[in-house]
Amino acid sequence: MKRRGSSRRGAGAMLPRGVRALLPVLGANGGVGRSALAGLLAQVLAPTTRTVLVDTVPRGASPWADWLGLGVTGGAVRDVSRDEAVGLPAALVPPGRPLDPDAVRDAALRRSVPVRRRRRGDDLPDLGADAADGPGYDVLTDARPWTRPPVAVPEDPRWYAHLLETGGWFAGVVDTSTPVALAHVAARNAVRPSALDEWSRRPDAVPVLVTSASGFGAAALARLVQVLEHDGLAVDRMVAAVVDVAGTDPPRWMDGELAPVRDRLAAVVRVPHDKAIRADGLARLGDLAPGTLAAAQEIVTRAAELVRPVPAAEAPGGLGGPGGLGRPAAPASSGRPPAPPVRHRGPESPDAQQSGWVPRR
């Protein structure tokens, strides 16, 4: 029996030919398996197109150095302790200077993807079969020792689109660090666009919202979607991943919380519990369960149906400024006026949520 949402056609050709796609992975809250899911999406994309994963998480909190075999002091893959031209910091250039294609490509660390033999009746992608430079994807992360000063990673999605074009990648997965709900509400209170506002305006980007497969995770996702709809964001172009991080059965009322969300988002995909990920993260890609990769492929397949090319007038070429991004350009038109900021409801408001609020079961 075929798995829901996956097919041989989707495994063979996911993204439209010649279209660059961005998949920002945003956690509704912390500890939901966001980085692991970002790596799974890159692993599924790698066989069919040149893929880069950009890790924006601060080095002390990012697992990618360990997953790449570098640790906090570097050395296993490349001697990053003495090579400052490796990793994400090397892709960031001084203000006013464009990105250097050779420097960007040399800064990326290669992540090999194991080649799996296709079994009879298996509808998973034949990983690595169509990769131009061999099976794998590139990773841009701050892989230097922890003694190096932190780097300021741009938040503007146009920088990531420019990065893809400069490095010759056609798919980019962005592992973000700030919980999206917190960042969005903070931006609304400051009367400025949030990062999710900017991502949702891009036709070449499909935000992936990640939450845990629990009652609290489902309620957090439902509240977030309600806020985004109220603010005028196109939630029907977003995909949600509900990740089983605990390996225990969630409460029965979780499906009731997710029911209205399924009708509003482009897709809601359950990512099953994977013992290999919970034990070693993405350090051993060969031990991942087939169901885990099938869930990641379902997300990518749905995102490929939603991604659209950026109009030529809005192409990111020739950007300067911090990290290669210069004067802000006019945001892509979404066909509606900018959403007004959400008014803060004080404790005297009758519908204000009190501390310790528990969703109705």
Instruction: List, for residues 9-50, the tens digit of each pLDDT value.
Output: 334 446 878 789 999 999 977 788 999 999 999 999 998 899
Please state, in angstroms and rounded to a whole number, the distance separating the CA atoms of residues 267 and 247.
22
Q: What local confidence, expressed as pLDDT, does residue 69 receive?
A: 83
Q: What local confidence, expressed as pLDDT, does residue 321 receive?
A: 43
More confident: 49 or 361:
49
* Averaged pLDDT for residues 191-218: 94
pLDDT of residue 4 exceeding 80, the answer is: no
Q: Which residues of 85-104 are buried (b: 16+ CB within 10 A; e: fewer)?
A: ebbbbbbbbeeeebbeeeeb
pLDDT digits (tens, 9 = 90+) for 133-171: 557 899 999 877 777 887 888 889 999 999 999 999 999
Q: What local confidence, expressed as pLDDT, does residue 315 receive?
A: 59
Q: Cβ neighbours of residue 195 under 8 Å, at least 6 residues apart?
A: 24, 26, 155, 157, 176, 178, 180, 183, 184, 187
pLDDT digits (tens, 9 = 90+) for 111-129: 988 866 444 444 444 444 4
The domain made up of 8-305 has a fold known as Rossmann fold (3.40.50)
pLDDT digits (tens, 9 = 90+) for 46-97: 988 999 999 998 887 889 988 988 764 444 444 444 445 568 887 887 766 7
Pick from 204, 212, 191: nearest CA to 158:
204
pLDDT of residue 293 exceeding 70, the answer is: yes
* Averaged pLDDT for residues 324-347: 41
pLDDT of residue 213 exceeding 50, the answer is: yes
Mean pLDDT of the chain, nearest integer:
78
Q: How many residues does the chain have?
A: 361
Q: What local confidence, expressed as pLDDT, does residue 89 receive?
A: 82
pLDDT digits (tens, 9 = 90+) for 169-191: 999 999 998 889 889 989 999 99
pTM: 0.80
Pick from 113, 139, 147: nearest CA to 43:
113
The domain spans of the chain are 8-305
